[in-house]
Structure 1
Amino acid sequence: MKNFRTKPEAAAAMILGCGLLALFVAYSTEAGQEAALLDRTGAAVIWGLPVAKLAFNVAAAGTVGPLVLALFALPPKGKAFSKALVLAGISAVLWTAASAAISVLTFHSLANLPLFSEGSGAILVSFLTDVDAGRRNALTVVITAAVALLCFGVQSQRAVAVTAVLASAGLIPLALNSHAAGGASHADSTVSVVMHMLAAAIWFGGLAALVLLRRTLETELLTAVRRYSTLALLSFLALAISGVAAGVTGIGTLEGLATPYGLILMAKTVALGVLGVFGSLHRKWILAKLALVPGRARTTFSVLAVAELAVMAAATGLAAALARTPPPTVSQAAPAPVSLRLPGFVDLLSSWKPDALWIFLCAGALFLYAAGVRRVRNGGGHWPGYRAGLWVAGVALLFLVTNGGLRVYQEYLISAHVTTQMLLIAVVPLLLVPGAPLTLARLGAAPRQDGTIGGAEALLLILRPVMSATSAPYMAAAGLAAVLAALYYTPLLEYSSRTQFGYQAMAMLALLSGCLFTASLARTTHGGPGSSLPSRLATLGAVAALYTAHGWALAQQADQLPDSRRQEWLITVGQPWDQPVLAVVEPAGMAMWIIAAGTLLGAAAAVLSTSRQRRDPVARHRSGTERDHNLVMSSEP
């Protein structure tokens, strides 16, 4: 019995030992180099920072993972749900302690002072209140402490969801201070780093929670493991995409692979490949054994999961070392290439700037949509092929807009910026909305009966309030007008061109507002507010006037404003071509008019066509069944 009780302790010691060993091996050489430069700080600071970062990563995973697992895999009134919250709470306390340790150690590292040196206390307070890096560290401590309190006090799913979102936000401040901040491409790396950390936390923490809760779950273990497997697969995809994006940004060239940063990155890549093999074994072997021989399969699952956690801990140790290792691109800060001409159509097609978040979202959208179509058809249902084709086309266009030439030049030209936003607002939704993803999710995913939240339930819970508020076309049009005002007449205009967080906010706002407006026009139910044909056509006319006014303002600013005011309408003063900024002729207004005219005419034709089909049974029969016609994103929220 005593030996049995020591098994969890031995497993935990092995997992922690793997993380510390990987950290020591990866960081030892770089730590020696840093010690020569920062000899005043001492070994306590030099080694304390990566160890604290390792503790931060493990505690963050132990908080975020159980919270996400509780939402998506554990019945809300079961013992496993309550214990998952306790695990998250204990981890959040440790996370707060690790965040506080990082704050103190970071201050001593930047100030080049020994730990607890005389007079450092007052300077530490100033660092935490007046310096950006210090304020971010202090914010992390506040967030993690709030998460710890919530974990021990909440019980409802809504409260757990809010806690999980807050815990995820706790990863952002440290990412802003991470190794991404040391490179020239900091703005383009931060979102990738946050995405990487969040995916790792869900994967690592969720599996650890499953191992600790396996006896509490009893007969529910198979269901929990199957649901976690989906989360793990999405996390693996996010880790791979964000890791490649951050790695390319940090390495710069192939020669960078021979640097300490590159060697650690390659070791992390090997660890990710091993974890992919573990994941495949779980999906193809463990799930089958749990279904056939649950008793013996529990032991097999535990052994395989502990081995996987050991590899994850090693990868986490490597990540902690990587965060304290300067990337080779820091010393490669070369000026942007200069072109003697403005970009043309060929440049837009040949230029690329991969965005990890949108690559992940596009890949996930295609994968989940294909899985939904397969489930519907395997269940004997029917899904129109043209809807799938429109969805694929919409995702492909979304990928091109967020990763292609427009993504490159929207940082320099207001016309590229406007074209990007108009494609996201007006063109992409015309392809995505008829794909009816919410209806497909409801048909392809069986409703959960145990109170947990699946992918389909999450989509409906998140979007239902927004879609209800914008169900009438004129309400959706008002929301569209508000978004356009925010995009062009607030600091978001400059912020979205200079930072990745700003760009993601702009793109999400534009895409969501466009989809909601298009969906409100596509609604075919009778009796709803604004659902009549005259109301929808009048709304289209009002939106056309809105685009006309915005386009006119964009077209007139460069000619009528003095130079001091023109700068407000220029995205940035720097550009990668040899031509004065104020000499650039910006066809931003024309771009808005052309795209708006084409899409609004197409929308009007679709509204007239669907209205005619509703009145004419023969036309409806020729164009497809009424059931297929009602498979739109907004018809059944």
Structure 2
Amino acid sequence: MPRLLRVLAPAVLLAATLAAVLLGLGIGGAADERALADPGAVVRYGLPLSRTLVNVAMAGLIGAVVMAVWAVAGEGRDPDARGAGAASGGREAGIAMDVAAGSAALLTVASAATILFTYVDVSGLAFSLDASFGAGLAQFVTEIELGRLWLVELLLAAGTTVLAFAIRERRLTLLVLVAALATALPLASQGHAAGASGHAQAVNSLLVHLVGAAVWLGGLLTLVFLARAVDRPRLAVLTARYSTLALCAFIGVAASGVVSAWLRVGTWDALLGTGYGRLVILKTAALVLLGGFGAFQRSRLIPRIVASPRGGRVFAWFVVAELAVMGAASGIAGALGRTATPVSFEPAQEQGSGISPAEWLTGDPLPPELTPLSYLTEWKFDLAWALVSAFGIALYLAGVIRLARRGDRWPVGRTIAWILGMLVLFYTTNGPFNAYEAYLFSVHMLGHMLLTMLIPLVLVLGAPVTLALRACEKRGDGSWGGREWILWGVQTPFSRIVTHPAVAAVVFAGSLWVFYFTPIFRWAMAEHLGHQWMIVHFLISGYLFSLSMIGVDPVPYRFPYPLRLVTLFATMASHAFFGVTLMTGDGLMLADWFGAMGRSWGATPLEDQSAGGGIAWGIGELPTLALALIVAVQWSRSDAKEQRRKDRAADRSDDAELRAYNAMLARQAERDARAPRR
């Protein structure tokens, strides 16, 4: 790529972003002077510009780190690594991490500027250097939710900057990736008022949108800087890997964009007749155009990079054009963030006395009475977990298809188990359990049992790690793909600890007591982040326990079969005791939550809690009993396999072991016969 284009590409991105922000502010009306408490033109334009710069910088950070982790060659590569990637050594990873560090630094500065502009905007005070302005700013970032979120964003960006500059070792880039992804959490939480209807769905949808757009935009920007350091064949390889990431990102951005837009627009009339709706249409057009860019890049551009002597130059100008469209989309998104939405998102607590207690607590109205039919008709969709389920099925089937194409077979039962587990996960996180779990403890407990016991059990039977190790190709260019990261992950000391059967059993059984009898329970019910943590924790703890008991995927150590059965019966006893404790208790857990919903239907809160205890004791033991049966079957099959192995060995040696044993017995009998004579 010509050196000029390395400068031109980022410049085009920023110019297109700036132009789109200004155009979007005019279309949406966010730049108009306000009748009351107008902050001035500097803030009206400066706030959306700095906020958009935050988005672009975060994209550069996340996209660059993802490329460093997944696509490029880096330090610590295989000794037998071959090809251009191996020859470039750690240079590719160094370039990607430099882009990440620069983007993180820009994110820090842009976040600080946004804090200042936001405070001036919401306070109505003019900027000054006196003590009262500073005191008000300090109060804003410590006591007001919006200010606290921006302060967290600033601190995360600053910490990630230090990590990105300091870390270059391949495995430690995972730490940078976690920190980079964390910078998206405060931004997603700002996109929808806490306590407003649909808050959880909106936050998850916006988080998917931010991360997807970041991987898409930041990965392409990183590719621009990498292109100068590699030859054309290597550029084609890196572009193909980026294209796969971009396709996944496009799916996430498109799906989350539809959900977010519909939550905020509400009606077709609002889509066509409001400034916000017109901006949504423009952003949709940019997304469709970018999808066309991606299809062209994957089908036509990548082969041409190697085939044509001018392939590198064609790629360069194509990337510049794509970055211009991405900048326009980012600018429109920035303007959308400052434009009034047709659907109001006022928190329920601020709507006065006309709301129900349930809506005041959860932000959502109380659902209709729970009936058997409700388990089919009531849904509360969560885009993030819907995409997890969809991608989980798609990637698993892709692995099975890859094995079939090269002539390998994969058991159909394992495929069915994995798909079933993902479908139950989708149903649990998007269906009636998600709709009622905040209001009924019994429904919450039933969903908990599915998350920690049934879903992990069937997912473990799918043996996803074994499939991935067989289906993922080994890379020989110094980069790490799925196979390399999985092999490293299962061999780490941390993996040895968390997959040890004793540790997995203690976490599995102890999580019930720690979760429900500590403040963690309230955090999970009242806070969106706590609820998502709860789902992830119980899925992982249940998966590790099932893996240590019946899994076929590789782990460092498993108990002998008798000890596995003992462990299972011990966990069953712990669950039973927990369920009996809830059933016989006379105090209501989270009384100011479950007891204050104002339900006029269903069992009383204490009766419902007792039913939840019965679920934990009765229904919750069924998956554990299934585990015990599977362990018993595996034990019997193991004995049969061992006997067949011995039979085959005897056939090969003509029963040499048996004849040697008989000869030893004969010699011993002869010695015993001579003993009396002596």
CA displacement at 1:510 relative to structure 2: 0.9
1:457 maps to which residue? 484
> For residues 270-289 of structure 1, what are the structure 2 equivalents within 5 Å?
270-289=285-304
Which amino acid is 2:285 matched to? V
Matches of 2:258 and 2:403, distance apart in 1: 34
2:519 maps to which residue? 491
2:128 maps to which residue? 116
2:46 maps to which residue? 48
Distance verdict in 2 for CA 1:86–1:10, change over 3 Å = closer
Matches of 2:498 and 2:9, distance apart in 1: 52
Matches of 2:165 and 2:432, distance apart in 1: 48
CA displacement at 1:423 relative to structure 2: 0.4
Distance verdict in 2 for CA 1:249–1:553, change over 3 Å = farther
> Structure 1 stretches of 5 or more lacking a match?
622-637
Check whether the contact 1:64–1:201 (CA below 8 A) recurs between aligned residues.
yes
1:481 maps to which residue? 509
Moved more, 222-231 or 158-167: 158-167
1:574 maps to which residue? 597
Check whether the contact 1:96–1:144 (CA below 8 A) recurs between aligned residues.
yes
Distance verdict in 2 for CA 1:612–1:109, change over 3 Å = same
Distance verdict in 2 for CA 1:6–1:433, change over 3 Å = closer
Moved more, 138-147 or 176-185: 176-185
Distance verdict in 2 for CA 1:469–1:53, change over 3 Å = same
Which amino acid is 1:152 matched to? F
1:601 maps to which residue? 625
Residue in structure 2 matching 1:260, options 275, 282, 295: 275
2:649 maps to which residue? none
Matches of 2:70 and 2:434, distance apart in 1: 34
Structure 2 residue 449 is the aligned partner of structure 1 residue 422: yes
Matches of 2:459 and 2:487, distance apart in 1: 17
Check whether the contact 2:367–2:435 (CA below 8 A) recurs between aligned residues.
no
CA displacement at 1:187 relative to structure 2: 3.6
1:231 maps to which residue? 245
Matches of 2:208 and 2:275, distance apart in 1: 23
Matches of 1:103 and 1:340, distance apart in 2: 38
Matches of 1:274 and 1:182, distance apart in 2: 36
Residue in structure 2 matching 1:85, options 79, 97, 110: 97
Query: What SS does the corresponding residue of 2:379 show, helix, strand or coil?
Result: coil
Distance verdict in 2 for CA 1:183–1:47, change over 3 Å = farther
1:136 maps to which residue? 149
Structure 2 residue 257 is the aligned partner of structure 1 residue 243: yes
CA displacement at 1:182 relative to structure 2: 9.0
1:101 maps to which residue? 113
Matches of 1:157 and 1:122, distance apart in 2: 43
Matches of 1:602 and 1:125, distance apart in 2: 56
Structure 2 residue 330 is the aligned partner of structure 1 residue 320: no
1:627 maps to which residue? none
CA displacement at 1:346 relative to structure 2: 1.0
Which amino acid is 2:339 matched to? T
CA displacement at 1:443 relative to structure 2: 0.3
2:17 maps to which residue? 19
Structure 2 residue 321 is the aligned partner of structure 1 residue 307: yes
CA displacement at 1:190 relative to structure 2: 2.0
CA displacement at 1:179 relative to structure 2: 4.6
Matches of 1:395 and 1:120, distance apart in 2: 53
CA displacement at 1:445 relative to structure 2: 0.5
After superposition, give the CA deviation of every residue in 1:256-277 in whole Å (9 maximum; x if it has no partner): 4233333322322222222222
Distance verdict in 2 for CA 1:431–1:147, change over 3 Å = same
Matches of 1:341 and 1:155, distance apart in 2: 54
After superposition, give the CA deviation of every residue in 1:263-307 in whole Å (9 maximum; x if it has no partner): 3223222222222221111222222223433x3222222222222
> For residues 359-508 of structure 1, what are the structure 2 equivalents within 5 Å?
359-462=386-489, 464-465=491-492, 466-508=494-536
Matches of 1:79 and 1:526, distance apart in 2: 34
Which amino acid is 2:497 matched to? A
Matches of 1:182 and 1:515, distance apart in 2: 32
Which amino acid is 1:89 matched to? A
Moved more, 230-239 or 396-405: 230-239
Give the fraction of aligned pairs with identical amino acids, expressed as a percent. Answer: 32
CA displacement at 1:543 relative to structure 2: 1.0
Matches of 1:88 and 1:341, distance apart in 2: 49
Check whether the contact 2:499–2:555 (CA below 8 A) recurs between aligned residues.
no
Query: What SS does the corresponding residue of 1:610 show, helix, strand or coil?
Result: helix
Check whether the contact 2:208–2:384 (CA below 8 A) recurs between aligned residues.
yes
CA displacement at 1:133 relative to structure 2: 2.3
Which amino acid is 2:219 matched to? G
Structure 2 residue 211 is the aligned partner of structure 1 residue 198: yes
Check whether the contact 1:71–1:157 (CA below 8 A) recurs between aligned residues.
yes
Check whether the contact 1:171–1:198 (CA below 8 A) recurs between aligned residues.
yes
CA displacement at 1:34 relative to structure 2: 5.9
Structure 2 residue 185 is the aligned partner of structure 1 residue 158: no
Check whether the contact 2:192–2:202 (CA below 8 A) recurs between aligned residues.
no
CA displacement at 1:530 relative to structure 2: 5.5
Query: What SS does the corresponding residue of 1:329 show, helix, strand or coil?
Result: coil
Which amino acid is 1:156 matched to? E
Structure 2 residue 615 is the aligned partner of structure 1 residue 615: no
Check whether the contact 1:64–1:164 (CA below 8 A) recurs between aligned residues.
yes
Distance verdict in 2 for CA 1:585–1:209, change over 3 Å = closer
1:633 maps to which residue? none
Moved more, 461-470 or 210-219: 461-470
1:146 maps to which residue? 159
Question: In angstroms, what is the RMSD of aligned CA positions?
Answer: 2.9
1:585 maps to which residue? 608
TM-score by length of 2: 0.84
Check whether the contact 1:183–1:250 (CA below 8 A) recurs between aligned residues.
no
CA displacement at 1:358 relative to structure 2: 0.7
Check whether the contact 2:12–2:323 (CA below 8 A) recurs between aligned residues.
no
2:373 maps to which residue? 346
Which amino acid is 1:599 matched to? P
Query: What SS does the corresponding residue of 1:172 show, helix, strand or coil?
Result: helix
Query: What SS does the corresponding residue of 1:35 show, helix, strand or coil?
Result: coil
CA displacement at 1:28 relative to structure 2: 1.7
Matches of 2:7 and 2:557, distance apart in 1: 62
Structure 2 residue 64 is the aligned partner of structure 1 residue 66: yes
1:630 maps to which residue? none
After superposition, give the CA deviation of every residue in 1:347-383 in whole Å (9 maximum; x if it has no partner): 1211111112111111111111111111111122111
CA displacement at 1:542 relative to structure 2: 0.6
Residue in structure 2 matching 1:519, options 531, 547, 552: 547
Residue in structure 2 matching 1:216, options 219, 222, 229: 229
Moved more, 480-489 or 531-540: 480-489
Which amino acid is 1:548 matched to? A
Matches of 2:186 and 2:367, distance apart in 1: 39
Distance verdict in 2 for CA 1:37–1:619, change over 3 Å = farther
Check whether the contact 1:66–1:84 (CA below 8 A) recurs between aligned residues.
yes
CA displacement at 1:223 relative to structure 2: 1.6
After superposition, give the CA deviation of every residue in 1:415-461 in whole Å (9 maximum; x if it has no partner): 11111110011111221111111011000011223332213333454
Structure 2 residue 187 is the aligned partner of structure 1 residue 174: yes
Distance verdict in 2 for CA 1:9–1:567, change over 3 Å = closer
Moved more, 174-183 or 522-531: 522-531
Check whether the contact 1:376–1:443 (CA below 8 A) recurs between aligned residues.
yes
> Structure 2 stretches of 5 or more lacking a match?
75-88, 646-678
Query: What SS does the corresponding residue of 2:230 show, helix, strand or coil?
Result: helix
Moved more, 490-499 or 276-285: 490-499
1:635 maps to which residue? none
Which amino acid is 1:232 matched to? A
CA displacement at 1:511 relative to structure 2: 0.9
Moved more, 547-556 or 174-183: 174-183
Matches of 1:264 and 1:584, distance apart in 2: 51
Higher radius of gyration, 1 or 2: 2
Which amino acid is 1:75 matched to? A
Check whether the contact 1:48–1:105 (CA below 8 A) recurs between aligned residues.
yes
Which amino acid is 1:605 matched to? L
TM-score by length of 1: 0.89
